A and B are shown apart, each in its own frame.
Chain A
C-alpha cells in the first residue's frame, strides 16, 4: 500500500474512533445508563487499530501479498461499526459478524498471498452473504434492551421483528455450528497446501504456522466454550453486559475478554508471519540455487512458483525462427497483457506472472536458475516440435481417410452405376437378339457376364477402399460384415455407440487387419473381436486361439501401430508360440483438441 493512501486510512480511522467515542458518550447520557463503557470501547478500538496498523505495515513490507489490504478493511469495519448506537445499534452487531466470520476467515484462508482464485471468489462471496443473512436474522429477533424499562429507547432497533430469544438462539446456534466447520475446512485447506508443498515451498508457508498454531487454541475453543457454557443467549447477554444494560454472567465476560485479547494479538501474528517469509533477492536466489541443471522443466517451473510464492508464475519460451511462445510442455502459451506481466530473462526466455509480483525478484529467481532454464528451453523447443510432428501425422491419416472415402464415393456414383447400365443394355440386346447371327448373341451374352463380374469386383474394391457401412451405420455392422466373410468363426462383441469418424476408421482397419492375419497365419478355430468404450477411448481386442508367433514387424501390423499412434493411442500385439495371438489397441476419442 502506498504511503499516501496509508495516511488517508489512518486519518479516516482516527476520525471514526473519535466519532465513536463521542457518539457512545452521547448515547450514555441520552439513555441515562450506568456502565463500564470505556473498558469495552478501548478494547474494541485496540482490536481495530491493531488490524489497521498491522495491515498497513504488511502492505508496505509485502506488496506481493493482498493480506495487508484485507487487514486494513477489517480494521475499518471494526472501528466503523462502533459509531452505531441506539436506535441503530443492530449495525454494530452485523459489522462485528461480517468482520469476524467473513473477512477474517478469508484472510486465514488466503494466507500468505491474500489472493482468491476464480471459484474461490464465488465461495468467499457466498460465505460473506451467508454471514450477513445470519447476522441480520439474529438481530431481527433480539431486543438489545431486554429488561430495561425505558420508553424512549424501546421499541429497540429498526430491524427488530419481535424479541424472541428462542428464535434468535436457534438461528445463532446454526451460525455458530457452521462457523467452526468452515474454520476446520480452512485449516484443512492450509494443511493440505503444506503437505503438497515441497521443501522450498514450505518455507513460504511458514507464516501460516505462525498464525494458525496459537489461533487454533483461541479462536475455536473460546466461542465453542461460550456456547457450550451458556448457549447463544449467553453471547447476546454478553453484548448487553458489555454495554452495561444487563447483568453479565461471569464466565461469558471472561470468554469475551480472552477473545478480545486474541483479536488484538492476531493481526500482530499475521504481520509477523508475513515478515518471516518476506522475499528478498538474496533469499530468492538462495532458494533457486540448489536446483542444479538436472531437474525437469515442470519441476523447475514449480520451484519458481514456490520460491516466488505465486502459483501463477509460468515460464515462457520464444520458439526458434518464430514469434510464438510456448510453455514448459511445448504448448502454445497465451499471454494476456491486461492481467499478466512478462519479465524477460534473455531474448528467448521470459517469466509470465501476476503484476503484483516484484519484477526484480522474478529476474533474480530466473537468473539463479540459469542453466536449468536453458535446459528447459531446449526441452520445450523439442516438445513443441514433437507436438507439431504428431499433429502433422494425424493430419496425414485424416487426409488419407478422406481420400479413401472420396474414391469410394466416386466409384459408387460413377463407374458402378455406369457398369450396371451397361450390363442391362447388353442383356437386353442379347435377349432381343440379332436373329440372324447366333455368334453375335453369344458375344453379347459373354459381354454381359463380364460386365457383371466387373460390377462384383468393383464392389469388393470399393468395400476395401472404405466400407460405406462404416460411415453409415458404425463399427458394429461393419465388423459384422467382416465376420460374415471370414474363413473361420468370428465372435463379435461391439459397443453400438458411434464415435468420431477417424476413430471408427482406425478401429475398423485394426480389426480388419488383425482378422486377415488370423485367417491367413493363425490356424485358429475361432476369433473373438471386442470393441468397447474404456477410459475416454475405444478399446479394441482381437484374440485368436491359433498357433501364435505372429510377425509383429510385418508391414501390416507396423502400419496399424503407426496409425493408432498418430491418434495418440496405444497398439500392442502379443503372440507367444502356441498361445494364440492377441491384438489390442486403444484410441482416445474424448478430450481431444479437435
Chain B
C-alpha cells in the first residue's frame, strides 16, 4: 500500500510516517500544506491520502477542501481525514462526495496503532471509517420522541457500528454475534428509524449519519 501524508505538524507527520513504515506501509510523500498535497497527488496518485483538516495556507479547512477536490479527480484513491475536531459536519461533507474509500478519524486514533491501521486499510480497500466519537456525539443528540431510545441496547451498538462504517461481518466480529443476528438487528433498526434499507455498507453509513444529524 502506498500512502501520502498531509499534515502541518512536523511532530505528528513524522510520528505517523514512522508508524506506517513499521507497519509495512510505503509512505511516498509527506507534505505540510494543501497546495503541495494537490501537486503531489496530481503528479503521482497514491493508494491512500492521510489528510489533516486544518492546514496552511489559509489555516482553515484547507486540507478537507483539497481532499474533496482530489476525490473527484481520483475516485479510486482512498482518503482518510485526520482531525482534531469532533465535527459530524466535516464527516458528512466528505461522505457526500462519495462513500467508498473515505474516512474521518480523530487524531487521537493514531495513539492506538492497531485500530488506526485497521481504519487505514479499510479506507484504502474502498471501505468507510467514521470516528466512534463522532458517531457517539450524533447518537447522543436529543430528539423529540427519540426513535433511537426505542432501540434495544444491542441494536444501538449495531447502529453505532454501522455508522462507523463496519461491514456486517466486521460487526459480527466486534460484537461477538453471528452475521445472521447482525442482519436481523440491522433490519429491525432500519424499520424502527423508518429508514429505507440499503445493502451497500458504505451508502448505509451516509444514510444513518444523515438521519442522526436531523
**Chain A residues close to B by CB (< 8 Å):** 409, 412-413, 416-418, 420-421, 423-424, 427-428, 431, 448, 451-452, 455-456, 459, 462-463, 468-469, 471-473, 477, 480-481, 483-490, 525-526
Bound-state Cα–Cα, A488 to B111, Å = 34
Count contacts between A and B, CB distance < 8 Å: 86
Asked if B70 is an interface residue, CB under 8 A from chain A, the answer is no
Asked if B40 is an interface residue, CB under 8 A from chain A, the answer is no
Asked if B117 is an interface residue, CB under 8 A from chain A, the answer is no
Bound-state Cα–Cα, A469 to B113, Å = 28
With A421-B12, A481-B89 already in contact, the answer to whether A486 and B141 are too (CB < 8 A) is: yes
Interface pair B15/A485, CB less than 8 Å apart: no
B6-20 interface with A by 8 A CB criterion: 8-9, 11-12, 15, 19
**Nearest chain A CB to B15 CB, angstrom units:** 6
Q: Which residues of A contact B111 (CB under 8 A)?
A: 420, 423-424, 427, 448, 451-452
Interface pair B141/A484, CB less than 8 Å apart: yes
Known: A427-B111, A472-B61. 6 other contacts (CB 8 A): A418-B11, A421-B11, A424-B15, A427-B113, A455-B108, A469-B87
**Chain B residues close to A by CB (< 8 Å):** 8-9, 11-12, 15, 19, 54, 59-61, 84-90, 107-108, 110-113, 137-138, 140-144, 146, 213
List 15 interface pairs A-B (beta carbons < 8 Å), by A numbering: A416-B107, A417-B11, A420-B108, A421-B11, A424-B19, A424-B111, A424-B113, A452-B108, A471-B60, A472-B54, A472-B61, A473-B89, A480-B213, A484-B140, A485-B141
Interface pair A484/B88, CB less than 8 Å apart: yes
| Smallest CB-CB A-B distances: 7 pairs | A477-B89, A423-B111, A424-B111, A472-B61, A417-B9, A484-B141, A489-B142
Interface pair B110/A412, CB less than 8 Å apart: no
Interface pair B110/A420, CB less than 8 Å apart: yes
**Nearest chain B CB to A542 CB, angstrom units:** 16
Q: Which residue of A lies closest to B213 (CB)?
A: A480
**Nearest chain A CB to B209 CB, angstrom units:** 12
**Nearest chain B CB to A585 CB, angstrom units:** 23
**Nearest chain B CB to A477 CB, angstrom units:** 4
With A418-B11, A427-B113, A472-B60 already in contact, the answer to whether A484 and B138 are too (CB < 8 A) is: yes
Q: Which residues of B contact A420 (CB under 8 A)?
A: 12, 107-108, 110-111
**Nearest chain B CB to A205 CB, angstrom units:** 59
With A471-B60, A473-B89 already in contact, the answer to whether A483 and B141 are too (CB < 8 A) is: yes
Bound-state Cα–Cα, A593 to B93, Å = 35
Bound-state Cα–Cα, A484 to B138, Å = 6
Q: Which residues of A contact B142 (CB under 8 A)?
A: 486-490
Bound-state Cα–Cα, A471 to B60, Å = 7
Bound-state Cα–Cα, A428 to B19, Å = 10
Q: Which residues of B contact A448 (CB under 8 A)?
A: 111
